[in-house]
Structure 1
């Protein structure tokens, strides 16, 4: 299990080679260095040296890629809906890395963040008492008082050392053997034993005392100083947890924030060249797709300038795409074989088809559209319903499910709108910026087929007004909204916030959710596939009664008992003023729009300048 940090004692391990004294010397230099940059340089150099040691230790082992290829496993479970959900182990993680990673050192560098090892049960008072007993120091001596009464004396001017570990160092430096040391492996084994025995009463305390005695006799004063700080879980090197994690790998902080697991950080991010969003991405294994951060149209310029990784981001440059109301799908292809996974990892290959020779609602129609040079790929997109009779794209609001369409349906068919690519042949593209991924997508993958597989239309934008204009157009075309993307954003699976993708819907914009009563006084014929041949959006007005006007019902004679029936009639339209102020184009399904057009077909009067 990847959560189990236990290792095989008999296998080669770099932590058996790296001495604890090497780590202590590093920490000593870092603590005396000035400035975070200088401290980080020392840490980075140490980690680099460890990577070299790791390679030397495993020089005679099988290549990582060979082992990894034989150890990737896939588990499958069936949901209540009868769909299959698959999950795979970490792609590219070999048994070597599982057994020997930076974890033994990382947990010593970040003792306060080590969740695997429970509390040691050792504080300054207990450690001081043990030091006095093992080293036969008189309790009444100056050194004895320093160790036993540290909390009382730590603020006096005569006290050497800023913390208990440093006080102990000055007491121990002339009493310890400087010619012995232990490995990182040995230190961790003993710390594990101390943590396990803590809380076991007197018998457990005897074991702890024995282990501490062993450490005192096999470590130098400097090593004991840093061991004490590890036991107290406070290294006091003025280097933050995040800084140490980033020295190991640029994505270590993000992974630790999501997992709180140093072992996973060390194993998953063993390769400094492989980014977090590349890890676990493999053909025919589903992943959680990248998502859009919710925002407003008038915030885009500010967000792009603030968060874009564009080295020349003086001008806010971005892509604008239509947000289709369909189902998010990822398509994995290896030559003639296809697999389709939903946003949550459900396998719908049986619906869309595993290859061109089997029954399916999509694969048989798109298998031959991929270019010859593209043998493998993973593409991301939106699966929508296409009506080939009306040549329009339906929305979910039309009560259709793209996953339920039958292969022999005479009218409806699935259509994949592709907007991203994550793998091209054997090359992972998630670490490339979006503008580069689009080059692969548009030039190297496939030839689109109308109504079957098409590319999402991308428009450039540089201002909030560009976003507002496209949002208005999406509203007119009855789309769900728009998505704005940073051209320099990399693809980060299962990331929504701070990823560089922003989704904007009409209901995210202040004021667009207000309800008002108004009168429809005009309609506009649509242009394009979605609106051709029908009135698709409508001119609305507010109605205000004119002053000093009365209608017929107000003129009835109150003395006439029969006047109610004879005089009741509709108000005179000339008694009112009509103020047109907007046109609407969303909020109804395609079916509702057709019904509306049919119901009022004989009510409309053509308007031209001549009839005005």
Structure 2
């Protein structure tokens, strides 16, 4: 299948903001794919990716290497391409211009196919060892030699992961259901169990509803995590849980999903990114602590001080980001794993098993030690006992408690009331950065005020909820500017519009109703807390979530 056919889809998607039209375009394209094996690849290319987030392969190509490859392919000086980027504000557009003006073309040029593009990108991702950068450069230059200007533009965007066509997971799910005439809830279920759109698309085409209904959990493919809502206090949680609940400590760490298959262990972050290589000591401890041959468990990875008290979760994220000198980081930031659920064990799917049974199985398969153990918990009907446990958790330096229905099944990807969070303050929000402003004076040359957005499923897009400018250090702003500059879509004077890719955590005094913003809400006195590298835009809070927190806030103020 020719790559230019996929490029035509990209162009159509970019020209419309209508979700229904985008869904139809993607659906029609998926219908046209004849080879089932190609369907394993195309959904991710449509999303502007090469691999699922949980795949540990990375292209490892930045802007400079990309420009160098285009220079090799066209004979145009790298500096000239860089200058063009300053004018266009879009590397993809500048590469298209360079390809249009190319000074050389291969006599053996052949049209690009999707298979060739994908296989070449796989070679780039898997290149390692001495001379790997040169090989990556050669592979990439060969693609650009045969690429048309439009193909080069979207190839560059794919390599950098900034496609800008407005296709998110929900839209792709709906398009798959429409293309293969299968039930959208079965597509959703299959994706939640495997986190693999390529696999789901192939099953939908070949086996329809019947095949999708049979999709099972697979060790090595992460499951979308079940989420929780807020409760005002332990009494409210007990009422919601039917009078009795399991309370467990809510640790201030990073949620992880651990997959063990024999001697192979894979660990995924909350965003389902593979973080295995960054925490080798946890991998070795898991091999010893988990008894089953094949098992999937969930837990909270906590950075601890010498005294055993927890450190803020940002310390765990520092471990996730580290690719070099890992042994040094093991000493500096020791990690403790507190397990709280089991989803699969030796061929048995556990997600439809009531929570209390899952908890018993979890405790039976863990050889607890200093570093890996079951999360501390309490099962009670007594508000007084639960309250005492809550204060114990806070005294130990943790965030609060989780409350869980004893009979609750595990619902991948769902945020329901079967699990509730109890914390002493309003919950921080994870929001997407939609825009920014160039600073003045001391902050001249850096982006210093950021427009924040939440996802609106009705509109199928992110909508603004306010701006944040406080809480940043000067070093933060320098790093943010470096990170956000490649994501700039448009500039209007001091203001820039950004590709919605970066998620940050913000605290705030309260949520207010507001006609000013399209979301209908505004944050009062928002303050930057942390960059959430463990979350993608699809994990950010939604407008519906803001509405729920607004109602929760009003209850706390006594306005029931």
Q: Same fold (TM over 0.5)?
A: no
Q: Which has the larger radius of gyration?
A: 1
More strand by share: 2
